[in-house]
A and B are shown apart, each in its own frame.
Chain A
Amino acid sequence: MADELKPDELLDKIDHTPARGSWMDTSVQIRPGMYCYAAKAESVETLGLPNARAWNPLEDDWKLPENWQEILHNGLKERLEKFRTFKIFMDICVRCGACADKCHFFLGTGDPKNMPVLRAELLRSVYRNDFTHAGKILQSISGASKIAGNRPLTLDVLKEWWYYFFQCTECRRCSVFCPYGIDTAEITIIGRELLNLLGLNIDWIATPVSNCYQTGNHLGIQPHAFKDMLDFFTEDIEEITGVNVEPQFNKKGADILFITPSGDVFADPGTYTCQGYLILFKYLKDKYDLDVTWSTYASEGGNFGFFTSHETMKRLNAKMFAEAKRLGVKWILGGECGHMWRVIHQYMDTMNGPADFLEEPVNPITGTKFENAKSTKMVHICEFTADLIKHGKLELDKSRNSNISLTYHDSCNTARGMGLLEEPRYIMNNVCDNFFEMPENTIKEQTFCCGSGAGLNAGENIELRMAGGLPRANAVKYVHEKFGVTHLCCICAIDRAVFPTLMEYWVPEVDVIGIHELVGNALILPGEQKRTTDLRMEPLPGMEEEEMEDEDE
């Protein structure tokens, strides 16, 4: 027995490093908490998209059409011909790895298949196998796939596509670091489009898309309920300010049509941002006779079609120009949203334009021409408000936000997608005294995603969301500890919906707020009563005692 190892020695010999194998050979493990539920059949049917049926990602049988490989092969072929960027992105990656550690999902999950290079390689390996000469030749030689990085499209590969293309928020941080400028978001976009050819969408995208197509917004809120919510805000604002800010709906001949994500109307704390818009429009009406209308038809700025397919995005987006035309407004103003702006800024004009029935946007109060919106005819509300402040057109009382210490999360789509970096900061600095930036490698072009964009803000994938939001939360935690930051400000409806939970897990002391909520608090409405609370009905700084007395009465 002398040669037997003692327990301690035995323990020393155990290698805890996970077994190594090529990423190509390992099959996907779909883990609850990391994926979103499968699209409901009826939601897929609404838009006439293929293969609507009930299915479950955890089951072996995904109920695919018999010729699913052929469908995908043809789909891939069609897209390689149609989108030159996609073809280039498939060919030119040298796998240098510059993008590898830039993805929030990789950083948070530690799963190598979330490295942008490897996520793209899931699709690229099939492209090489089926569409390149080298791949075709090497197919027949055993073991050669390792050299060319090619592999056939099997069911395992398909499942891997599904799992990982729905673990990418299309935030494009990786593309900032790619020496070739490969936009991995576009690869994900095409990847998801291909999956949709087999009816493999997630429900958190498919049902909002279906709702939006039928009733005009993601939540499926009908026009009267949409109006009810804004009326409800109007009552609250009247209680706080003493001013009736009642908005206009579907008004023909108004100057400006305002469109915002429906999350602002229905999801806290976005609702307070929405109240900020109402206060601003009332102010501009009273002071400068600016005529802004809301629409119950174009009642959604967001566009989950963007996460389904180009065609679906186009169909949902069409209502913006259609409504602007019907109402005969001069131009369109858009609310605080993320992906809505990527769609407007980069796709709308060529998809559903030209909007030659609209005027080139000019701020009628300041005379500023919004050159960047010359073609789309749609202006971001932050540009609009920043311009008003710059020209001294808004009377603001900063002290109403003096109990707030702010930091700012650049939403991926507005920062990287359209370069909106300074306007939000300009507004924040004009409505609040305490503003602190997060470290530079986590903001502006390098901003870290919230971890829940691109249709991944569901409830069932909460672990994915908490992991994906880790790098962002890590930077928030830093400014909270260093500068005493109390509020994370953002200009995206998805951010506002998901950050409260993300903060609750990683930095529970930090609350979430939108820019126009801050504006709504600071803006002095003509004829307003002495305000004692902010829009959340919390006492304003210095008004705590008065509020207590009021409550006692």
Chain B
Amino acid sequence: MNFSKADFIEKLRKNREKIINQWFQAAINTYPPETARILDKSKNKFDNPVGCVTKQSLEDVWDKLFHTLGHENRKNENIEQKEINQEKIEEALDPVIRIRAVQSFSASKAVEFVFELKGIVKKIIGTSLNSSFEKKVDEISLAAFNRFMKCRENIFLLKATEAKRRVHKAFERAGLVKELTEEQLLSSNNKT
């Protein structure tokens, strides 16, 4: 069965809730089952921060993806595919990836849930995927990996900064670094 691109997008629109819910399930199923049950339980974002932030983040990413597909469709199906806005997609992914970057996931496990979207959409829509859609999911995966790396770098920088501050403080107490302020010490690190 072949769908036109417009039909495909219409199907995606109609199935938004279903797709997001299944995608969310796939994302939380990367946790141990005892944890996954709890992440799915409370809708209060302070009692269940990881579950709620994950859901919200996936909704944002989905809406951005859908917007790009819809935009592309409205203009002209034959023109070159509009690239997904990497920066915006990374921002939308940030909350969920920022969390996964401090949990026990390997890099691949941390971003794996993005790829699940292909299988989920295929199952729900019941047809092979539009190549433009597949490409965009790949782009989101790469954006997720980018963000994961940024978060990891952030963590190591924070760790280094804490250690530097501690050493600097000790030197300052001993009267050894009167000339070098903490700001200078930390910014010299950023330049390298």
Question: Which of A274-282, A298-306, A328-336, A461-469 faces chain B?
Answer: A461-469
A463 to B112, CA, bound (A): 20
- Given A110-B39, A463-B102, A470-B102, the answer on whether A17 and B29 have CB atoms closer than 8 Å is yes
B155 and A111 contact, CB distance less than 8 A: no
B103 and A109 contact, CB distance less than 8 A: yes
B98 and A101 contact, CB distance less than 8 A: no
B155 and A459 contact, CB distance less than 8 A: no
Chain B residues in 8 Å Cβ range of A31: 104
B103 and A18 contact, CB distance less than 8 A: no
B interface secondary structure, majority: helix
Minimum Cβ distance to chain B for residue A412 (Å): 16
Interface residues on B, range: 35 or more
Question: Is B6 in the interface zone, CB < 8 Å from A?
Answer: no
Chain B residues in 8 Å Cβ range of A471: 46, 49
Of B32, B33, B173, most A-chain CB atoms within 10 Å: B32
Question: Which of A122-130, A374-382, A488-496, A499-507 faces chain B?
Answer: A499-507
A111 and B32 contact, CB distance less than 8 A: yes
Minimum Cβ distance to chain A for residue B186 (Å): 12
Number of A-B contacts (CB under 8 A): 104
A225 and B159 contact, CB distance less than 8 A: no
Chain B residues in 8 Å Cβ range of A101: 38, 41-42, 47-48
Chain A residues in 8 Å Cβ range of B38: 100-101
- Given A108-B102, A474-B53, the answer on whether A115 and B34 have CB atoms closer than 8 Å is yes
A101 to B159, CA, bound (A): 28
Question: Is B162 in the interface zone, CB < 8 Å from A?
Answer: yes
What 0/1 pattern do residues 114 to 127 of B give for CB contact below 8 A with A? Answer: 00100100110000
Question: Is B99 in the interface zone, CB < 8 Å from A?
Answer: yes
What 0/1 pattern do residues 359 to 401 of A give for CB contact below 8 A with B? Answer: 0000000000000000000000000000000000000000000
A470 to B101, CA, bound (A): 12
Closest to A112 in B: B34
Question: Which of A8-16, A152-160, A308-316, A342-350 faces chain B?
Answer: A8-16
B102 and A466 contact, CB distance less than 8 A: yes
A111 and B46 contact, CB distance less than 8 A: no
Using a Cβ–Cβ cut-off of 8 Å, how many residues does chain A contribute to the interface with B?
Answer: 46
Chain B residues in 8 Å Cβ range of A268: 165, 169
B26 and A505 contact, CB distance less than 8 A: no
CB contact between B155 and one of A8, A112, A463 (< 8 Å): that residue: A463
A16 and B112 contact, CB distance less than 8 A: yes
B33 and A18 contact, CB distance less than 8 A: yes
CB contact between A17 and one of B33, B98, B128, B154 (< 8 Å): that residue: B33
CB contact between B162 and one of A467, A475, A501 (< 8 Å): that residue: A501
A441 to B158, CA, bound (A): 29
What 0/1 pattern do residues 1 to 42 of B give for CB contact below 8 A with A? Answer: 000000000000000000000000010011111111011011
A-B contact list, 6 entries, CB within 8 Å: A8-B128, A18-B30, A106-B35, A228-B173, A501-B162, A505-B155
Counting from the closest, the 4 A-B pairs by CB-CB distance are A112-B34, A474-B49, A466-B102, A467-B102
Q: Interface on A for B, CB 8 Å cutoff?
A: 8, 11-12, 16-18, 20, 23, 29, 31, 33-34, 100-101, 106-112, 115, 225, 228-229, 266-268, 439, 441-442, 459-460, 462-463, 466-467, 470-471, 474-475, 478, 501, 504-506
Q: Interface on B for A, CB 8 Å cutoff?
A: 26, 29-36, 38-39, 41-42, 44-50, 53, 98-99, 102-104, 112, 116, 119, 122-123, 128, 154-155, 158-159, 161-163, 165-166, 169, 173
Apart from A225-B173, A462-B155, A462-B159, 19 more pairs, CB < 8 Å: A11-B119, A12-B119, A33-B155, A108-B102, A110-B31, A111-B104, A112-B34, A115-B34, A228-B173, A229-B173, A267-B169, A462-B162, A466-B102, A471-B49, A474-B49, A474-B53, A501-B162, A505-B98, A505-B155
